Amino acid sequence: MNYDQDLQNYFEADTPETVIAWALQQWGSRLGFCTSFQAEGMVLIDMASKMKADIRVFTIDTGRLHQETYAFMDQVRKHYGIDIQVYFPDLLQVESMVSTQGANLFYDSVASRTTCCNVRKVAPLRRALEGLDAWVVGLRRDQGESRRGIRKVEKDYEHDGLVKISPLADWTRDEVWSYIKTHNVPQHPLYAQGYTSIGCAPCTRAIQPGEDIRAGRWWWEATTHKECGLHYAPETGSYGRQLELLVDKKAS
Ligand code: SF4
């Protein structure tokens, strides 16, 4: 199959269930469901686990997640009877970064925050994607400007041309929550505390009424896009070189 522009458009009218069923049939265990246990990821796990008992689910543990996320991860594992593959950042990179720039470097500048996201999220994701042919994510187009152009099925040029699948691309937030309520899908406990987007504990807060749903992410960076690099190339680019330098620094 050729994942060119035609194929990208081919799935646009399909339901999430149709896209997931097709992807499972196409790739089986070489298809990975990436989740941070937010509402969209839970919808995908719920849909897919009803089609295949042993779906491949993975997550990135940055080492800075909320305690509630760890508890919820266990709840999800038990609820669906699935394994969740957990990927950690590289020890040497974290040691070097924290030793030279501090544990909370992300508050210093956008560049420092990007470094932390690269070490703790982007690099482990690359490892998680090794051995996969395709990955499924919970992105939606109305989550922000940088996500407006995503397709339900597209080639992921940031990750060696893997196929990236966003079955919920055209869903609204209301549709996600309607599915969760209708199907009794477990939900992350921080939603009940006013969070609308959940990431690392020091970089996520609850939002105030009227604020944008991603306003609670890196809230001190009022003028930047609200992305960590998992789904959007970091502004600084060359993160591979950045990581090499951190390890070199640690080793020297
Ligand atoms: S969200 Fe914050 S703590 Fe998590 S990886 Fe990015 S900068 Fe680091």
Residues 98-112 pLDDT 10s: 999 999 999 999 999
The per-residue pLDDT of the chain, averaged, comes to 89
CA 178 vs CA 14, 140, 206, 230: distances in Å: 18, 15, 21, 27
Question: CATH number for the domain including 210?
Answer: 3.40.50.620
Q: How would DSSP label each residue in 175-230? A: HHHHHHHHTT----GGGGGT-SS--BGGGB-PPPTTS-TTTTBSTT-TTS----SS
- What's the pTM? 0.89
User: Which residue has tokens 């996500």?
Assistant: 147
CA 2 – ligand 1 centroid, Å: 36
pLDDT for 214 beyond 80: no
With a 6 Å cutoff on the Cβ, whether 121 touches ligand 1 is yes
CA 126 – ligand 1 centroid, Å: 16
CA 201 – ligand 1 centroid, Å: 8
Nearest ligand 1 atom to alpha carbon 113: 7
79-97 pLDDT, tens digit per residue, is: 999 999 999 999 999 999 9
CA 205 – ligand 1 centroid, Å: 13
pLDDT band at residue 232 using 50, 70 and 90 as cut-offs:
low
What average pLDDT score do residues 20-40 get?
97
Residue percentage of the chain with pLDDT more than 90? 72
Residue percentage of the chain with pLDDT more than 70? 86
Find the domain containing 183 and state its range.
Answer: 5-251
What amino acid is encoded at 172 in this protein?
Answer: T
With a 6 Å cutoff on the Cβ, whether 203 touches ligand 1 is yes
pLDDT of residue 9: 79
Q: Which of 200, 224, 246 to mutate to test the pocket of ligand 1 (most atoms within 8 A of CB)?
A: 200
With a 6 Å cutoff on the Cβ, whether 122 touches ligand 1 is no
170-188 pLDDT, tens digit per residue, is: 999 999 999 999 999 999 9
Q: Which of 69, 113, 246 to mutate to test the pocket of ligand 1 (most atoms within 8 A of CB)?
A: 113
The Cα–Cα gap between 38 and 36 comes to 6
How many domains would you assign to the chain? 1
41-79 pLDDT, tens digit per residue, is: 999 999 999 999 999 999 999 999 999 999 999 999 999
203: annotated active-site residue: no
Closest residue CA from atom 5 of ligand 1: 117
